[in-house]
Amino acid sequence: MAKSIDVSDLDIYYGDFLAVEGVTIPIAARSVTAFIGPSGCGKSTFLRSLNRMHEVIPGARVEGKILIDGADLYDPDVDPVEVRRQIGMVFQRPNPFPTMSIAENVLAGMRLNSRKLKKTEASEIVESSLRRANLWNEVKDRLTKPGSSLSGGQQQRLCIARAIAVQPQVLLMDEPCSALDPISTTAIEDLIHELREDYTIVIVTHNMQQAARVSETTAFFNLAGVGRPGHLIEYGPTTKIFTTPENPATEAYISGRFG
Amino acid sequence: MATQPPTSEPTTPKFTARLHSPQLPRWVPWALVAGAVAVGLALHLMVGWGWALTIVACWLGYVVVLVAVSGRVEGRRKAKDRLATSLVTTAFVLALLPLGSLLWQVVSNGLPAINSSFLNSSMRNVVGEGGGIFHALWGTLIVTSLAALMSIPIGLATGIYLVEYGNGRMARWITFLVDVMTGIPSIVAGLFAYALFVIFFGEGVRMGFGGAVALSVLMIPLVVRSTEEMLKLVPNELREASYALGVPKWRTIVKVVLPTAIAGIITGITIAIARVIGETAPLLIICGATDSVNFNPFDGRMMTLPVYIYSQYKNPGFPPEFGIERAWGAALVLTVIVMALNLVARLISYYFSPKTKA
Amino acid sequence: MTSHAVEGTHRPPRSVGDRVFPALVTAAGAVILVTLAGVALFLTYEGLPALTAKAADIPGADSFAAYVWPLLYGTLLASVLALLFAVPVSIGVALFISHFAPRRLASSLGYLVDLLAAVPSIIYGLWGIFFLAPRLVPLYDWLAGHLSWIPFFAGPASVTGRTILTAGFVLGVMVLPIMTSICREIFLQTPRLHEEAALALGATRWEMIRMTVFPYGRSGIVSGAMLALGRALGETIAVATILSVSNVVSLNLISSTNPGTIAANIALKFPEASGIEVNILIATGLVLFIVTFLVNFLARAIVGRRAEFSGAN
Ligand SMILES: Nc1ncnc2c1ncn2[C@@H]1O[C@H](COP(=O)(O)OP(=O)(O)OP(=O)(O)O)[C@@H](O)[C@H]1O
Ligand SMILES: [Mg+2]
């Protein structure tokens, strides 16, 4: 059920400000792709344009082409709401719905869309999603407690469970571990390893060891200066990017952090 | 406090010595308070000064002596600080005095009037003793409910529009006009309702529904404001989380944003109701006053509690003391209603706000 | 290269709900536009006949301007008196709550002051006429006896205490909470860094307030006072209850012949008014509306509304 993504010559704007320019990159199905690069180079912006979350911001727009399994994502007849059901997203800061319990949070994607669920079906979805998110054992006794009563790492895994409960085909993650401790981070990295079997995963990270650990492909973004648009500098197999990058900027960035 | 900056002191021992600037012992202000109270009692009991004069004089004496002593011992700057502290505290006490005396008056004058016949009878055919607020209670209930029924949906929806959809010229205009509406004097709202209804019903129109319209003009901006404020407190992250699950915007608003903000919104609405339930002027204009029960808001005069108080005071009947007593009794009932609404509002916001992240 | 401008040129397909719901809430906003236009329109329509009314039809004056002027004067006088009482006290109260009271108590104290705002104005009226006014009579006697060379206290002092000074005082109590809450909010927003910088220089608490809180909060104080003025101008029933009105223009604050206020005059006359008199009262209401609008508008212009979208992120 995973889908591939093909981006060609994509420009992304906030109003008149060109934030990201000329991105062309193929993203294979059932793989993990990591985006790395300095702060402000447009990783989040690009990631959000992949499930049309970008246009939620007033004045934001894109030019160029994104194909999902060959279908144009920005075709005028495509409903962005439908797109987001199929391309899930996990945010930097865990954001469970404070008015809902843990179980309700997992079911939020369905409940909010008024899908009728039988009770057994609902509890099946809750259990399987939480299991896949490696959270089931920790919360199975308190499913009716508010989602915000969990620790930060647990909340983030709850958000992942919530995202995979609607069975998306692609999972976008924007620095999912940046607010977490090393143990929770490991749990989520393990999770990404397992999820790769079924999903196309794109992950933004500032942690290069993490990129090296979880991804098959790495893409490096950079920007020439403040107020200038971000560019995709190069992408390729993770091992190659981290050992023999072609572009000196990539080399500098990686060695700067590793060295 | 040192009068010279310590850095200008040449040697270390002197520097430490300077850290202990002369300071009044802590008990001094309290001793002065005790002294002032004693002098005050003496003046009142022995010299026979009135209460008000005694209190003002003793307070003045206290402040003057405290500042003088402090100026002597601690220096000018400290003395000024003490003066400011005294004045600010005085201002606070001064502000609470009217509240205390007002509540005391309402309770002590109103309580004797309250009994079951006061709550259960109207003023029909009552000239002197007897009579009650039954018709006014119903009138207030009907008019306020109708006003709430109109204002809450409009105010809520407008608040949602302004926060979730509004950008551009129309939203700016509405924001501006809501500000203007907040400042409309209540009597003007009453005149507006009259000017509107007179077109359809002819001169001298009086109608409960008109009162509801007038109150709505006053209530809508309050509801819009509190809705706006509460919706703005909902973090954008929650909206985005919902969008990212493929939930349409309107469902996100109805099922995620509103439930998160609902406690605050209900608090705001309750306070708005408490605000308009005590309005007299607009209802005097458009609902008028009557002695009988009227359950039909679309037909004729309808008595309400505030107008009842006003008209009992203006036309107390004969002998007048019964009318005045009824006015106080109704004032007590109205105050209890308003305070209860305010209390409920507080409790709602205290107990039902979602427990957001720790 | 294909271009998709998502905003503006092309509307992506949307579900029914996403078309109906915004239309509904926008309609509610439109209702507000219409209502306010209605207020202005109907008041003008019903008030216009007053401007062209025959002199004989206008009670106690020979033109509308001559009719409304003493009322406008009384309205302004009572409101200015109210501000004289309310401004210093509310700045003090706001300071007490924001900088002097113990932190834990601050919000409960604020709530106590807010309770003042919750009391209905008719109850202030009762309190003013039955409790306060009689107790002010000795003060007025004293003023008339010792300070009668000041035009404000020329006397003869009212024997009931139902004077414009009493009315102004009650109005002052009534507008105190709104002004206090605005000042308090502004004072609490004083940048902590500024305050600490002042304290680190060895300033006393009062010096710190003079150096940081007041300069920072000046515009807030001014606009709070303006908003309070707007409230005082429109306050009706408390004044109608307390004041004994004889429609004069006079500086005397403590006598029994007082100017009325526009709002109180409407409340007193409207229930019995008929014919052109109703139109005259509505026209005075329009004058009141315009004055309060200008005052409020100025107040808002001074602070400027914070327009930014404040959801976190
Ligand atoms: N809502 C917005 N409106 C206008 N400009 C924005 C907005 N969000 C981001 N930008 C700009 O777009 C550029 C890219 O930002 P983006 O958040 O995508 O960077 P990033 O690579 O994710 O950085 P980080 O690593 O810090 O998360 C920046 O110059 C930023 O200032
Ligand atoms: Mg980012």
Alpha-helical regions (H) of chain B: 12-19, 27-42, 51-74, 76-110, 116-120, 134-160, 169-182, 186-201, 208-233, 236-244, 249-251, 258-277, 281-286, 305-314, 320-352
B185: which 2 tokens?
Answer: 């004097």
pLDDT at B17 over 70: no
pLDDT at C4 over 50: no
pLDDT-derived band at C13 (thresholds 50, 70, 90) equals low
| Same-domain pairing of B258 and B131 | yes
Per the model's pLDDT, the better-predicted residue between A207 and B358 turns out to be A207
User: Which whole number is the average pLDDT over C123-133?
Assistant: 94
In the prediction, which pLDDT does B3 show?
Answer: 46
| Same-domain pairing of B75 and B153 | no
Looking at ligand 1, which residue's alpha carbon is closest to its atom 17? A44
Chain length of chain C: 313
Q: At what angle do helices B186-201 and C262-269 cross, to 10 degrees?
A: 40
Among C88, C202, C236, select the one facing B186 at the smallest CB separation: C236
Residues with Cβ within 8 Å of C195's Cβ and at least 6 positions away in sequence, in order, are C208, C212, C213
pLDDT at B1 over 50: no
A118: which 2 tokens?
Answer: 């039988």
Domains of chain C: 19-312 (1.10.3720.10)
Single-letter code of the amino acid located at C247: N
**Which range (B71-85, B108-122, B223-237) has the least confidence?**
B71-85
Whether residue B16 is contained in a domain is answered as no
| Same-domain pairing of B199 and B91 | no
User: Which whole number is the average pLDDT over B272-301?
Assistant: 92
Residue B141 sits in a domain whose CATH number is: 1.10.3720.10
Instruction: Count structural domains, chain B.
Output: 2
Chain B residues with CB under 8 Å of a chain A CB are 167, 235, 237-248, 251-252, 255-256, 259-260, 354-358
Percentage of chain B lying above the pLDDT 70 cut = 93
Whether residue B1 is contained in a domain is answered as no
Question: Longest Cα pair distance anywhere in chain C, in angstroms?
Answer: 92
d(CA B134, CA B152): 27
Q: What's the CA angle centered on B192, arms B191 and B195, to 5 degrees?
A: 85
In the prediction, which pLDDT does C296 show?
Answer: 86
Whether residue B341 is contained in a domain is answered as yes
Cβ contact B278:B247 at 8 Å? no
Mean pLDDT value across chain B: 87
In Å, what is the CA distance from C70 to each residue of C49, C150, C286? 20, 21, 16
pLDDT at A182 over 90: no
Single-letter code of the amino acid located at A174: D
pLDDT at C251 over 50: yes
- Mean pLDDT comparison of B163-167, B283-287, C42-46, highest-scoring range: B283-287
Whether residue B244 is contained in a domain is answered as yes
User: Which whole number is the average pLDDT over C277-288?
Assistant: 93
| Same-domain pairing of B53 and B76 | yes
Region of residue B226 (phi > 0: left; psi between -120 and 50: alpha; otherwise: beta): alpha
| Same-domain pairing of B236 and B90 | no
DSSP A71: E
**Which range (A169-173, B10-14, B109-113, C156-160) has the least confidence?**
B10-14
Residues with Cβ within 8 Å of B253's Cβ and at least 6 positions away in sequence, in order, are B160, B164, C21
Q: Mind telling me how many Å the CA of A151 is from chain B's nearest CA?
A: 9
pLDDT at C305 over 50: no
DSSP B5: -
pTM of the model: 0.87
Please count the CA atoms within 13 angstroms of the CA of A207 that sit on its side-chain side: 18
pLDDT at A143 over 50: yes
Per-residue pLDDT of B225-262, as tens digits, reads 999 999 999 999 999 999 999 999 999 999 999 999 99
Percentage of chain B lying above the pLDDT 90 cut = 49
Alpha-helical regions (H) of A87-203: 102-111, 119-132, 136-139, 152-165, 182-195
In the prediction, which pLDDT does A62 show?
Answer: 92
In the prediction, which pLDDT does A116 show?
Answer: 81
User: Which whole number is the average pLDDT over A217-246?
Assistant: 90
User: Which whole number is the average pLDDT over A141-159?
Assistant: 89
| Same-domain pairing of B74 and B209 | no
pLDDT at B265 over 80: yes
Whether residue B4 is contained in a domain is answered as no
Cβ contact B87:C92 at 8 Å? yes
pLDDT-derived band at B20 (thresholds 50, 70, 90) equals low
In the prediction, which pLDDT does C134 show?
Answer: 92
| Same-domain pairing of B191 and B240 | yes
Whether residue B346 is contained in a domain is answered as yes
B27: which 2 tokens?
Answer: 């008990």
| Same-domain pairing of B99 and B131 | no
Per-residue pLDDT of B332-344, as tens digits, reads 999 999 999 999 9
| Same-domain pairing of B229 and B269 | yes
Domain that holds residue B156: 118-352
In the prediction, which pLDDT does B106 show?
Answer: 95
In the prediction, which pLDDT does C303 show?
Answer: 67
| Same-domain pairing of B61 and B125 | no
Residue that terminates a domain, selected from B83, B98, B113: B113
| Same-domain pairing of B254 and B293 | yes
Inter-chain CB proximity B245 and A53 less than 8 Å: no
| Three-state secondary structure of B63-121 | HHHHHHHHHHHHCHHHHHHHHHHHHHHHHHHHHHHHHHHHHHHHHHHHHHHCCHHHHHC
Residue that terminates a domain, selected from B51, B78, B113: B113
* B183 shares contact with chain C (CB less than 8 Å): yes
pLDDT at B211 over 80: yes
pLDDT at C5 over 70: no
**Which range (A93-97, B304-308, B350-354) has the least confidence?**
B350-354
d(CA B194, CA B204): 9
Per the model's pLDDT, the better-predicted residue between C295 and B43 turns out to be C295
Residue that terminates a domain, selected from B113, B148, B176: B113
Residues from chain B contacting residue A82 (CB–CB below 8 Å): 246
Chains with ≥3 Cβ pairs under 8 A against C?
A, B
User: Which whole number is the average pLDDT over C215-228?
Assistant: 87
Residues within 5 A (CB) of ion ligand 2: A 44
Interface with chain C: mutation pick from A48, A51, A79, A174, highest number of C CBs within 10 Å: A79
- Mean pLDDT comparison of B187-191, B348-352, C298-302, highest-scoring range: B187-191
Domains of chain A: 5-95+170-254 (3.40.50.300)
ipTM: 0.88
In the prediction, which pLDDT does A223 show?
Answer: 87
Whether residue B358 is contained in a domain is answered as no
In the prediction, which pLDDT does C282 show?
Answer: 93
In the prediction, which pLDDT does C12 show?
Answer: 55
In the prediction, which pLDDT does C7 show?
Answer: 43
| Same-domain pairing of B209 and B287 | yes
Mean pLDDT value across chain A: 89
User: Which whole number is the average pLDDT over B46-64?
Assistant: 82
Per-residue pLDDT of C41-100, as tens digits, reads 888 998 998 888 887 788 877 888 889 999 999 999 999 999 999 999 999 999 999 988
Q: Which atom of ligand 1 is nearest to the CA of A221?
A: 21
Whether residue B187 is contained in a domain is answered as yes
Cβ contact C86:C176 at 8 Å? yes
